[in-house]
Chain A
């Protein structure tokens, strides 16, 4: 069974800092990896989708990388802002069309 781990569980940084969130998975046989953002009491918003054949994807201040062979992905957030405060979740899609989620990293960006 696929196991997805996210480190750290929580992160607090001052505004303007660049930061990296980590996601690791045990089975490299994935189709893609998706990063989500979840605000308190809200649903999940898709941020970036990386195909298994890709190394990275960028959207604005966000950059996600994927190293399938080592079972790792990172989400890089440049010049963090208080509005970036949320829980960030990664999910891997397996060949059986199932998504496995990590437990998330709760980010707090202090003004």
Chain B
């Protein structure tokens, strides 16, 4: 397996624009997590899905953020409209929910810069 795949790797956008980050989890994994990493706040959990269903989105900072998982092999995190304070590295991770004590695997991240 190629691991968790995120795209794009880097994104630079202007304030006010819509940004869509994409994630392909490891095949067979049915839990998917979106994290945001900044120097100030470290790694923060934004939202996670089990079996394509959002379970906990309490970490989503504002209504400008939304996430979807239309099927087991794809998820998106959308920011609309984007703001400079959204600049961060966004990570997607997946694991197998059926087995409670398994490792989580992370993608390489998307570095977002909003100017």
Contacts and interface: CB of A to CB of B under 8 A. Distances in A.
Contacts of B106: 36, 43-46
B104 interface: yes
A45 B91 CA distance: 12
Given A97-B31, A97-B48, A103-B42, A46 B101 contact: no
Given A43-B91, A44-B91, A44-B106, A104 B42 contact: yes
Best-buried of B55, B103, B105, B107 by chain A (most CB within 10 Å):
B103
B101 A89 contact: no
B65 interface: no
Interface of B: 31, 33, 35, 42-43, 45, 48, 50, 55-56, 91, 93, 97, 100-109, 111
A44 B103 CA distance: 12
A85 B101 CA distance: 28
Contacts of B111: 41
Contact of B108 (A42, A97, A98, A102): A42
A37 B109 CA distance: 14
A36 B109 CA distance: 15
A49 B103 contact: yes
Question: Helix, strand, loop or mixed for chain A's interface?
Answer: strand
A48 B29 CA distance: 19
B103 A101 contact: no
18 contacts: A31-B100, A31-B101, A34-B104, A36-B106, A41-B111, A43-B91, A43-B107, A44-B93, A49-B102, A51-B101, A91-B43, A91-B104, A97-B48, A97-B50, A98-B48, A99-B33, A99-B104, A100-B45
Nearest to A48: B103
B42 A101 contact: yes
Given A34-B103, A101-B43, A43 B97 contact: no
Contacts of A43: 91, 106-109
Best-buried of A46, A52, A97 by chain B (most CB within 10 Å):
A97
Contacts of A49: 101-103
A96 B107 contact: no
